[in-house]
């Protein structure tokens, strides 16, 4: 069959995946009363149903017919992966579900006919599935109710005239029907391991789709900014009025992105810190905005970096948390006012920028305003399945003596680089810069089995983070611990306005550290580069990358790092090239 790419075809592929998944879900439902684990499995399939339908509704249904978007080909591959994964269920759905069989005939004709005949092949009301109930029972074989079960037989697996009576079995007669077991109950209950394996792979594919949301949003003709925030306002308003739309926006990450865009817009207003604070707290979604913690004490009370500690409530209850303080003193009045606004905005951004849409960021539990100290304490939860102890920075792991077991293996280095690049790319796509990218800002936890979780590095220390293109300050340029990572344009004496390309340069330095397993400090000392000479440091990094990095990590990784170190503009593709170069090392 001829293969072609169009928005209409993408929607049909999405519908194919949706209908087969729905048939699987409804088939599982017939056996759910017999097995609590099957019932739990059913709910997980339902969440996939919600995501697939909502994803097509928000990202595909309103696209122009001949859209040439950079993310469409990759998205199509993801949907094709889902189709292949569901192939076994598809064969059964074709046999037992007339609704799917009718759609599949149209879909097959569309593939054979190409783009010219696509519209003619679309069945009437073909967009109705985008707004209907995801779990609506199919019109044929496996519709069920609380006490009856319609099962496929030789007479009712084919199209039937409207109103023709179907053969109905009472649940009490279930065991007497061996054929019924082979169609529904056996499929759901006896093949549970296969369903669980299929669900796991499905979650991995849709998880990858979720991580692509920030990139898609900046290139989505209907939703992207294009000089106005009107559509974001509308989305937030719609989500506030419609529980169904809110659920879809949450499931696909669109609400997260819209919330960050609103925060960006507020940060650009000429308001006082008090007015800005009130605007942030009046955002439409109270459960999505961060919670201000009151009547709590935090330990440690003072720390310069992210630290393991405790939150103690007024009643004496104690919880293990991670704490990071960010203050707004140390400058003139204008600096302090803007710095506080940036910190207030960051609190809310981190509440919206959560996994899986923004990977490898810690979950923000809440914040504590400490006016006397002119600072805010960020209170984070420990990652799931990790020990409640101080995480290790990437810098300390590289420098550790004796070397930590397996830390510098090619697989672990590649995984750290991959996840770090994903984190920064997602933030950049949302319009945010980190400003403190360095190997001290990458931390790795120990899991519950006392193993260092190299595959789950976290980007932290958003010390100077703010909106890309927004108000800037000299503080990050003057920070001593960042000097080895600063772009030459960010000289402390006269730093250029901070842009994405400056984050990219810093990322390039960290990726060079990962590739050669040497800290930037060690590299500069070996090359005789003094602290503060950022031009010579850049030349040294480029020389090392060109001479040694290809042999250590491969030519694609080397080229991606050189591109970051040489970046003259903040094109996000320079980071995604790293993402493409890393997975080949991960079996």
Domain boundary among 184, 211, 238: 211
Q: How far apart are CA 480 and CA 535, in angstroms?
A: 16
Q: Specify if 326 maps to a domain.
A: no
Q: At 331, phi and psi to the nearest 5?
A: -155, -175
Q: What is the pLDDT along the chain (587 residues), one digit of tens a residue?
A: 334 457 778 888 999 999 999 988 887 766 655 567 777 888 899 999 999 999 998 888 877 766 777 788 888 899 999 999 999 889 889 988 888 998 888 888 877 766 555 555 555 555 677 776 665 544 433 333 332 333 333 333 333 434 444 444 444 444 444 444 445 555 555 577 888 899 999 999 999 999 988 888 877 766 654 434 566 667 767 777 778 888 888 889 888 888 888 888 887 777 888 888 888 877 766 566 788 898 899 999 988 889 999 999 888 889 999 999 998 876 678 878 888 888 888 999 999 998 899 999 999 999 999 999 999 999 999 999 999 999 999 999 999 999 998 899 999 999 999 999 999 999 998 889 998 999 999 999 999 999 999 999 999 998 788 887 666 666 665 566 788 999 999 877 778 888 899 999 999 999 999 999 999 999 999 999 998 889 999 999 999 999 999 999 999 999 999 999 998 888 888 998 999 898 755 43
Query: For residues 466 and 499, is the Cβ–Cβ distance under 8 A?
Result: no
Q: How far apart are CA 61 and CA 87, in angstroms?
A: 25
**In this structure, what CATH number is given to the domain that contains residue 430?**
1.10.510.10
Quote the distance between the C-alpha of residue 319 and its chain's center: 27
> Could you give the residue ranges of the DSSP H alpha helices within 212-332?
213-218, 230-241, 243-252, 254-267, 273-281
Q: How far apart are CA 239 and CA 81, in angstroms?
A: 30
Please give the tally of structural domains in the chain.
2
Q: How far apart are CA 388 and CA 307, in angstroms?
A: 11
Q: Specify if 258 maps to a domain.
A: no
Q: Token digits for 79?
A: 């949907």
Torsion, CA 79, CA 81, CA 85, CA 89, rounded to 10:
30
Over its C-alpha atoms, the chain yields an Rg (Å, rounded) of 27
Residue 333 buriedness (CB in 10 A; 0-12 / 13-18 / 19+): exposed
Q: Which of 251, 202, 210 is nearest to 82 (CA)?
A: 202
Three-class DSSP category at 393 = strand
Q: Specify if 139 maps to a domain.
A: yes
For 213-225, letters b (16+ CB in 10 Å) and e give bbbbbbebeebee
**What is the DSSP code string of 156-177?**
TSS---TTPPPPEEEGGGGGG-
- Looking up tokens 């499995």 gives 41
Q: Domain containing 47: what range?
A: 7-211
CB under 8 Å, gap of 24 or more: what pairs does 229-238 form?
229/261, 229/262, 229/265, 232/258, 232/261, 232/262, 232/265, 233/262, 236/262, 236/283, 236/284, 236/285, 237/284
Query: For residues 13 and 79, is the Cβ–Cβ distance under 8 A?
Result: yes
Q: Specify if 236 maps to a domain.
A: no
Q: Which of 129, 126, 169, 128 is nearest to 49 (CA)?
A: 129
Query: For residues 453 and 445, is the Cβ–Cβ distance under 8 A?
Result: yes
Q: Specify if 90 maps to a domain.
A: yes
Q: Which of 470, 472, 558 is nearest to 515 (CA)?
A: 558
Domain boundary among 168, 185, 211: 211
Query: For residues 539 and 562, is the Cβ–Cβ distance under 8 A?
Result: no
Domain boundary among 211, 240, 255: 211
pLDDT of residue 454: 94
Query: For residues 112 and 2, is the Cβ–Cβ distance under 8 A?
Result: yes
Q: Which of 390, 311, 377, 378 is nearest to 350 (CA)?
A: 378
Q: Specify if 348 maps to a domain.
A: no
Query: For residues 507 and 464, is the Cβ–Cβ distance under 8 A?
Result: no
Q: Specify if 436 maps to a domain.
A: yes
Query: For residues 391 and 335, is the Cβ–Cβ distance under 8 A?
Result: no
Q: Specify if 500 maps to a domain.
A: yes
Three-class DSSP category at 239 = helix
């Amino acid at each position: 069959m001829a293969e072609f790419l169009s928005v209409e075809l993408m929607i049909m592929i999405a519908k194919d995946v949706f209908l087969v998944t729905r048939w699987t879900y409804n088939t599982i439902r017939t056996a759910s009363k017999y097995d609590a684990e099957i019932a739990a499995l059913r709910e997980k399939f339902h969440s996939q149903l919600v995501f697939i339908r909502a994803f097509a509704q928000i990202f595909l249904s309103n696209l122009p017919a001949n859209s040439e978007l950079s993310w469409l080909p990759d998205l199509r591959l993801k949907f094709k992966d889902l189709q292949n994964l569901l192939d076994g269920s598809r064969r059964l759905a074709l046999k037992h579900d007339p609704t799917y069989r009718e759609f599949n005939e149209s879909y097959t004709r569309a593939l054979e006919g190409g783009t010219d005949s696509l519209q003619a092949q679309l069945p009437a009301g073909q967009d109705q599935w985008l707004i209907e109930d995801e779990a609506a029972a199919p019109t044929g074989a496996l519709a069920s109710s609380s006490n009856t079960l319609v099962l496929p037989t030789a007479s009712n697996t084919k199209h039937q005239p409207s109103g023709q009576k179907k053969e109905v079995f009472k649940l009490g007669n279930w065991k007497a029907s061996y054929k019924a077991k082979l169609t529904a109950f056996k499929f759901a209950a006896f093949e549970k391991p296969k369903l669980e394996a299929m669900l796991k792979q499905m979650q991995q594919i849709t998880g990858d789709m979720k991580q692509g949301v920030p990139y898609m949003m900046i290139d989505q003709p209907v939703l992207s900014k294009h000089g106005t925030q009107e559509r974001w306002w509308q989305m937030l308003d719609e989500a506030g009025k419609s529980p169904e739309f809110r659920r879809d926006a949450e499931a696909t990450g669109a609400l997260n992105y819209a919330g960050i865009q609103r925060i960006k817009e507020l940060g650009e207003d000429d308001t006082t810190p008090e007015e800005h604070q009130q605007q942030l707290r009046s955002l439409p979604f109270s459960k999505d905005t961060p919670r201000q913690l009151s009547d709590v004490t935090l330990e440690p009370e003072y720390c310069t970096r992210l630290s393991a500690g405790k939150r103690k409530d007024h009643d004496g209850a104690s919880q293990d948390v991670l704490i990071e303080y960010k203050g707004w003193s140390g400058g003139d009045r204008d600096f302090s006012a803007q710095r506080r606004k940036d910190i207030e905005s960051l609190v809310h951004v981190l509440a919206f920028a959560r996994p899986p849409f923004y990977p490898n960021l810690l979950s923000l539990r809440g914040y504590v305003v400490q006016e006397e100290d002119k600072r805010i304490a960020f209170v984070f939860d420990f990652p799931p399945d990790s020990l409640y102890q101080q995480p290790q920075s990437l810098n300390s792991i590289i420098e550790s003596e004796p070397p930590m077991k397996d830390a510098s293996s090619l697989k672990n280095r590649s995984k750290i680089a991959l996840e770090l690049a994903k984190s920064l790319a997602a933030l950049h796509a949302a319009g945010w810069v980190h400003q403190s990218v360095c190997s001290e800002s990458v931390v790795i936890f120990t899991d519950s089995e006392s193993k260092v979780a190299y595959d789950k590095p976290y980007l932290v220390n958003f010390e100077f983070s703010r909106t890309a293109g927004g108000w800037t300050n000299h503080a990050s340029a003057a920070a001593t611990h960042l000097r080895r990572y600063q772009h030459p344009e960010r000289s402390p004496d006269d730093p250029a306005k901070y842009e994405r390309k400056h984050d990219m340069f810093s990322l390039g330095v960290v990726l060079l550290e990962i590739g050669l397993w040497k800290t930037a400090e060690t590299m500069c000392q070996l090359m005789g580069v003094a602290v503060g000479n950022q031009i010579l440091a850049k030349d040294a990094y480029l020389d090392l990358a060109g001479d040694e990095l290809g042999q250590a990590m491969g030519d694609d990784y080397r080229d991606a790092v050189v591109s970051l170190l040489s970046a003259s503009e903040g094109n996000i593709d320079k980071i995604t090239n790293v993402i493409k170069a890393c997975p080949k090392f991960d079996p």
